[in-house]
Amino acid sequence: MADPEKLFRVNVVTPNGMIYSHRGSIVDVRAVDGERSLMYNHLPLLTPLVISEVKVKRSREMSSRIDHIAISGGYIEFSDNVATIIADSAERARNIDVSRAQAAKERAEKRLKEAREKHDERTEERATVALKRALNRISVYNTKGH
């Protein structure tokens, strides 16, 4: 008889509320110090995350489907078999409006170019972050094979 699958709760929360809450077998995140994969009974953890994709591998009964979520950085806490990601913004791949993300990318590229021409470091930093967020959203959307 096969061993029962070890699952844990994965929650993604933003200031707008709960974006994601499901049980999974593995969650992959990108922390400021590199990639992390968390599984059932992982040691307690609290670490900052960068603008990136979060992947949640679901249960075998869900055909081990992988859910893709674009986050704008934040933190992950893992304890008592609950992974909680707190982010300023997060979107599941299926909810990303790719045309809106493409428009945000173009706006950020324009602001970045103008800031560099004016040597405006603060605007350049903000435009760089906006560009990373837009590119991440487009990448996560495309990962799902849309």
Rounded CA gap, 40 and 38, in Å? Answer: 7
Q: Output the pLDDT for position 143.
A: 87
- CA 27 to chain centroid, in Å, comes to 11
User: What is the distance of C-alpha 69 from the center of its chain?
Assistant: 5
Predicted TM-score of the model (pTM): 0.90
What number does CATH give the domain 96-141?
A: 1.20.5
Block means of pLDDT (10 residues each) for the chain, 146 residues, are: 79 97 96 96 97 93 88 96 97 95 96 93 95 96 75
Residues 6+ apart with CB under 8 A from 137: 70, 91, 96, 98, 101, 104
Predicted confidence at residue 3, as pLDDT, reads: 62
Residue 52: per-residue pLDDT: 97
pLDDT at 1: 42
> What letter represents residue 97's amino acid?
D
Place of tokens 């990318």: 105
**CATH of 6-91 among 3.40.50.620, 2.60.40.730, 2.60.15.10, 2.160.10.10:** 2.60.15.10
Return residue ranges of the chain for CATH 2.60.15.10: 6-91
